Chains A and B, each alone.
Chain A
C-alpha cells in the first residue's frame, strides 16, 4: 500500500504540470462531488455512510428542526416545539410543505417515520440513533407528540440531524426505500437517478417551501459519485470531472494546494482520536491494570509533535476525552505532557524496568499508528500492532484480545458527550474500563433533562476517565477538502458539508 501511495504521489506530481480543472459544471450550475462510500441504498436510515446523511438526509429529506452551525435550533418541517415533560416532546408541523411529487406533507408522514424507524424489527442500521424513541402519535392534525422510552436530553440533537421525515408507507412491507412508488422527499433537491453503489443525481426542487433555513436550492443539480480510490478522485478533480472531494491525505493536499484552479481547506472536526486502555483481566495478566503503566504510556507520547509532523493542519491535541463544543465536555482535566524519562521511571516503579510488550489494535491511519508506536518503543514499550478495519478491530476489543486500542469516534455529529462516552463506558461490550461509577454517572446524565444535574454527572465521568487514564485523549481529526476554486464552500466541525449553503461564484 505504501508503494502504491508513492506511485500515486508521483502520478499526482506529473499531473500537476499544467493541469487546469475544467468548469463545465459551473456553467451548468451543477455540483459534482465524489467520495469513497458506496451508497447501496438511497435513504439515510439504512446506510452506514456519512455521505448518505449529507446527500439524502440534508438535500433530499428534511428534519423537523434545523441545527445551524452555531446558535439555537431553527424551525424546519416543524414551526415550534416544546418539552411537555422529561419523556414527551410536541412539535407543531408546517402545513405549506409538499413532497417532490406534489402531494402535501402531513402529520401522518412524521408519525409513520418515527414509528417505523424506532421499531427494532425494522433494523435501522444505527440503533442508538432511534432506540430511545417509544413512539409517535398525532395529538391533532398539526401536533406531533414524540414519546421517549426514558428521559433522553440529546433527543433534539438527533431529531435535528439524523432523523429526516420520509413519506408514509415509504418502506413498504419489505423495508425497501421508495417501495411505495414514492422515492420523494421534502428537501431542496429531488432524486433524478440512483444507481446503487455508484451514482446519485439530484435536481433542484423548484417547489421547495419558503422560509426554510436551508434556503432555496443554489445549484441546478448535485451529482454524487462513488470513486473508491483517492488518487482517482484527485485525477477527476484535476481533469474537471468532479468539483469537490474530501478526506484528502496531507501529502496530497500539499501537492494540490499549489495548483491553479484548485483550493484546499483543512479544518478541525468533532472526530477525536484516543488510546483506549483495556483494564479487564487477561490471560497471563494485564499490566494496564496498574495505573503507573497507563501513565507511562501517556507520558511517553509526544502528541504535539505527532500533530505537527504527521497529522498536519486542522488537528489539535486534546486533554479531555471529548470534543470541546459537546455538552458535558469538561475541559480543565489533568494535562499530561511529553516526558520519556518520567515514563521510564513509572515503568520501573511498576516493575517493568526493561520495558514490556503489549498488543494494540487500531483502525486509524497507519502512519499515525506508527508514529505513536515509535514513541512507546523509545521508552521500552513494544507494541504488537494490528491495523484493521473498524469491525475487526472492535471484535478484538470486545473479545478481550488487545491491551490497547487506538481508535476514533465522530459522535455521529451529535454535540453531546452522550453520543461518545455512553458508547464506550456504560458496561457495553465496548467498555474496556468496566468502572461502574463512570457508567452510573453517564447513564444518569443521559436520563435527565436538567442541564445542571447532567453537567455534574459528566463532570465526574469525564474527569475520572481522564484522571484514571481509561482513555488517553490524543487529538482531533482534521478533514482536508479539495475543490474547484470557483466553488464557494464552507466547512463545519461536525463533518457535515452543508451543500445547500454553497454556490458557484462569478457565474
Chain B
C-alpha cells in the first residue's frame, strides 16, 4: 500500500510540474507582461524600461526557472495590478470558494446518494422514474438559469435570501444549490447503476441467503462495492467545485478564485492567473490521489495495478 501511495503521489507531482510549465508558457506568450504593466498608453521606451526592470528581457527558461524556484518555496510572485504578493491575493479569495464548493458538494452527496440508492433498489418504479427525471432536469438546466430563477424567487419576490455577496451563510444557500444541482445527476446515476449491478452479484445473494436484514445487505455490502466509481467521480466533482465556478461566482458576485481567474485574465495579471491555475490543479491532483488511495483501500486488487 505504501508503494502504491508513493507511486501515485510521484505521478501527481509530475502532473503539477507539467501544469506549471504549460501555464507559465501560455500566460507569458499570450500577454506581454511589460506591456501589461505599462498600460496601453505607454511609449515604447516605457515598455522597454519596465521589461528591463522586471527582468522580462531574460530568456523565457531563465524566467521560468526563477519563478518555479520561488513557487516551490511558496512565493508565487507579486500581482502586477494589486502590487501585493499573489499568495495574499489568492488566499483571501479561497475561503469563499472553499465554503461554496464544500457546501455544494455535501448537498450534492446528501441528495444524490440516497436518491440513487432508492432508485437502484426499485428500478423502473415511479420512484426510479422520478429520480431519473430529476437527474435529467439537472443535466439539462444550465446552472446560470437555475441561479437566476433562484434569485428572482428567493431574493426578489420572497426576500428570504440575499441576492448576491458572501457576507453570511445565507449568501451561500442559492449558489450552493445551483452548483450542487449541476453535480447531482452524475452522482445519482452512478449510485443507481452501481446498486443495480451489485444487487445482482453472487455475494449479495449469499448475504441474503444468510438471512441478513435488507438494510444491512444494501448499506454494508452492496453500497461499499457500488461506490467504487463514485469515489473517483466525486473527487473530480469536488475538484471542480473547489476550482471555483466562474459563472456562478459572477452571477452571485461572490469573490472567489473562479472570479479571480476571470478578473486576472481580463486585467492581464499573469502571476495571479498562473497561481490560480496551479492551485486548482493542486486541488485536482490531491483529490485524485486521495480517491485512488481510497479506492485501493476499498478494493485491494487495485493496489497491484
Contacts and interface: CB of A to CB of B under 8 A. Distances in A.
B215 interface: no
Contacts of B148: 7-8, 11, 231
Contacts of B84: 176, 196
B41 A423 contact: yes
A228 interface: yes
A295 to B, nearest CB: 31
A225 B253 contact: yes
Contacts of B53: 121
Contacts of A229: 250-251, 253
B216 interface: no
B83 interface: yes
A487 interface: no
Given A15-B156, A123-B50, A128 B41 contact: yes
A239 B150 CA distance: 13
A36 B252 CA distance: 12
Contacts of A231: 148, 151, 251
A41 B145 contact: no
A352 to B, nearest CB: 34
B251 A232 contact: yes
Given A11-B148, A127-B38, A235-B152, A227 B253 contact: yes
A131 B156 CA distance: 48
Interface string B86-108: 00010011000000000000000
Contacts of B266: 389
Contact of B250 (A41, A197, A228): A228
Contact of B164 (A11, A131, A236): A236
B41 A235 contact: no
A196 B82 contact: yes
A467 interface: no
Given A11-B149, A40-B267, A127-B42, A241 B162 contact: yes
A104 interface: no
A223 B213 CA distance: 61
Contacts of B260: 197
Interface residues of B, number: 47
Contact of B163 (A40, A46, A127, A241): A241
Contacts of A15: 152, 156-157
B41 A126 contact: yes
Nearest to B269: A40
Interface string B187-229: 0000000000000000000000000000000000000000000
Most buried by B among A18, A238, A239: A239
Most buried by B among A17, A197, A231: A197
B268 interface: yes
Given A15-B156, A38-B263, A127 B164 contact: no
Contacts of B114: none
B157 A18 contact: yes
B39 A232 contact: no
Interface string B10-54: 000000000000000000000000000111111101100110010
A394 interface: yes
B88 to A, nearest CB: 9
Contacts of A389: 266
Interface in A170-212: 174-176, 195-198
B157 A123 contact: no
Nearest to B45: A120
Contacts of B156: 15, 19, 235, 238-239
Contact of B43 (A127, A196, A232, A394): A127
Contact of B252 (A120, A232, A394): A232
B164 A227 contact: yes
A391 B267 CA distance: 9
B170 interface: no
Given A41-B82, A235-B152, A120 B49 contact: yes
A319 B156 CA distance: 44
A9 B305 CA distance: 54
Contacts of A38: 255, 263, 267
Nearest to A391: B268
A225 B251 contact: no
B77 interface: no
A51 B288 CA distance: 42
Given A7-B142, A14-B152, A198-B255, 15 more contacts: A41-B82, A48-B267, A120-B42, A123-B39, A131-B41, A176-B84, A195-B255, A196-B84, A227-B164, A232-B163, A235-B152, A238-B156, A241-B162, A241-B163, A391-B40
29 contacts: A11-B148, A14-B149, A19-B156, A123-B50, A127-B41, A127-B42, A127-B43, A131-B41, A174-B83, A196-B89, A196-B92, A197-B93, A197-B260, A225-B165, A226-B253, A227-B164, A228-B253, A229-B251, A231-B151, A232-B251, A235-B152, A235-B155, A235-B156, A235-B164, A239-B156, A241-B163, A241-B164, A391-B268, A394-B40
Can you list the 6 inter-chain pairs with the closest CB atoms, starting with the nearest? Answer: A128-B41, A227-B253, A15-B156, A198-B255, A11-B148, A228-B250
